[in-house]
C-alpha cells in the first residue's frame, strides 16, 4: 500500500539557522514559497520546517524543537559526510557503526542539528 516517504516536518527554533545547517553541512536545497512552510529538498524527498510560533495547519499535536530522530541515506561516500561534519565543527555522537536499515546492512554516523534533533546519515554498500 505505501510506496515511500514524501516529506517529514521538523519544528525548529529558527528556520534560518536550520536551513543554514542543512545546506552547509549536508548540501540540501532550500525552497521558499508564499504561504507554505520553508522546505529543505534532497533526492526526491523534503523536510518541511515549522518555526515555533509560526506553524502551519494541520500539525503534530505537541510540536517541539529537538524531538526529531531520523535517518538519511547518503548519495556520496560516508567519508565525505564525515569530512563535511568535521569541516563544519559538527561532532559525531556515534559512528561509524553498522546498522540494519530498510534495505539491509548499512554504515551510519549520528550527530545533532541546531535544535538537538538526532540525525543519522547512512551508506548502503555498493
Q: Where do the domains of the chain lie, and which CATH numbers do they carry?
A: 7-123 (3.10.180.10)
Nearest to 20 by CA among 88, 74, 81: 88
pLDDT in single tens digits along all 126 residues of the chain: 988 899 999 999 999 999 999 999 999 999 999 999 999 999 999 999 999 987 777 888 888 999 999 999 999 999 999 999 999 999 999 999 999 999 999 999 999 999 999 999 999 998
pLDDT for residue 2: 85
d(CA 74, CA 62): 30
Q: Which of 16, 98, 120, 123 is catalytic?
A: 120
pLDDT tens sequence across 36-69: 999 999 999 999 999 998 777 788 888 899 999 9
Q: Which run of H or E residues covers position 82? A: helix 78-87
Place of cell 569530512: 83
Given 3-state DSSP classes, what are the helix, strand and coil percentages for the chain, each rounded to the nearest 5? Answer: 15, 40, 45
Active site residue 120: yes
pTM: 0.93
Amino acid at each position: 500500500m505505501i510506496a515511500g516517504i514524501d516529506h517529514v516536518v521538523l519544528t525548529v527554533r529558527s528556520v534560518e539557522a536550520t536551513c543554514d545547517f542543512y545546506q552547509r553541512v549536508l548540501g540540501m536545497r532550500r525552497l521558499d514559497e508564499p504561504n507554505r512552510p520553508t522546505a529543505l529538498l534532497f533526492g526526491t524527498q523534503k523536510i518541511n520546517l515549522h518555526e515555533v510560533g509560526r506553524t502551519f495547519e494541520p500539525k503534530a499535536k505537541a510540536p517541539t524543537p529537538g524531538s526529531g530522530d531520523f535517518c538519511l541515506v547518503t548519495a556520496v561516500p560516508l567519508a565525505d559526510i564525515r569530512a563535511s561534519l568535521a569541516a563544519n565543527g559538527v561532532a559525531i555522537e556515534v559512528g561509524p557503526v553498522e546498522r540494519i536499515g530498510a534495505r539491509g546492512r548499512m554504515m551510519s554516523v549520528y550527530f545533532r542539528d541546531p535544535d538537538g534533533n538526532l540525525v543519522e546519515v547512512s551508506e548502503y554498500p555498493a
